[in-house]
A and B are shown apart, each in its own frame.
Chain A
Amino acid sequence: EPEVTQTPSHQVTQMGQEVILRCVPISNHLYFYWYRQILGQKVEFLVSFYNNEISEKSEIFDDQFSVERPDGSNFTLKIRSTKLEDSAMYFCASRVTGGESNQPQHFGDGTRLSIL
């Protein structure tokens, strides 16, 4: 069964550095998402992306964050000038269609980001 794949599985970075988290969504999916989960807390929505632009973003997704689909397969989340509180699991998800469809989102296994 097709999967969403994320790399790296664990990223350790010094505070203030930039990180790029990578995702390969399922190939025929059109809608892409990033979520994060701070240890012991809920999964939280960051941003959704469709047709090469951001559809929606949450309050968490400030100017420090950006997303890109640089080619036909990858979907990236960039965090500039990382802070200690950015330490979390970051999950990528994709969905085949949006609108008023009942297709679920499929999640990758995440990247654990540790900011030192």
Chain B
Amino acid sequence: SQKIEQNSEALNIQEGKTATLTCNYTNYSPAYLQWYRQDPGRGPVFLLLIRENEKEKRKERLKVTFDTTLKQSLFHITASQPADSATYLCALETFAGRRALTFGSGTRLQVQP
């Protein structure tokens, strides 16, 4: 069956360090992989999207990599700040069938000042 896995344990890092979050998937052929941020009691906020034929995407302090051979995406936040503390969700989208997103369970990031 299709599965998306993100680190279920919280990630605690010091301010200024780089946070690296992992998303692994099985039995999928995603067209797009997206990363969202979710704060408590709020809806997911779109951060970055990467296509299946792209290896890397950057936006300011954020970087996403996508390895379709390993079936893995890495999400990096450089020069992390306490305001980056949130849950980060990985979401896959395929061309086949519905264009809905399938989400991972998210990784909670805590950046300590």
A, B bound: yes
Q: State the A residues within 8 Å of B (CB).
A: 4, 31, 33, 35, 41-45, 48, 55-56, 58, 91, 93, 95, 98, 100, 102, 104-110, 112
Size of B's binding interface in residues, CB under 8 A:
25
Q: State the B residues within 8 Å of A (CB).
A: 31-32, 34, 36, 41-46, 49, 51, 89, 91, 95, 97-106
Most B CB contacts (10 A, CB to CB) among A31, A42, A112 go to A42
On chain B, the residues within 8 Å of A48 by CB distance are 98-100
Q: In the bound complex, how far is the Cα of B17 from the Cα of A26, in angstroms? A: 36
Interface residues of B, dominant DSSP:
loop
CB distance from A102 to the nearest CB of B (A): 6
Known contacts A42-B103, A58-B100, A107-B44; 14 further A-B pairs (Cβ under 8 A):
A33-B100, A42-B106, A43-B44, A43-B103, A48-B99, A56-B99, A56-B100, A91-B44, A98-B99, A100-B95, A102-B49, A104-B34, A107-B43, A112-B41
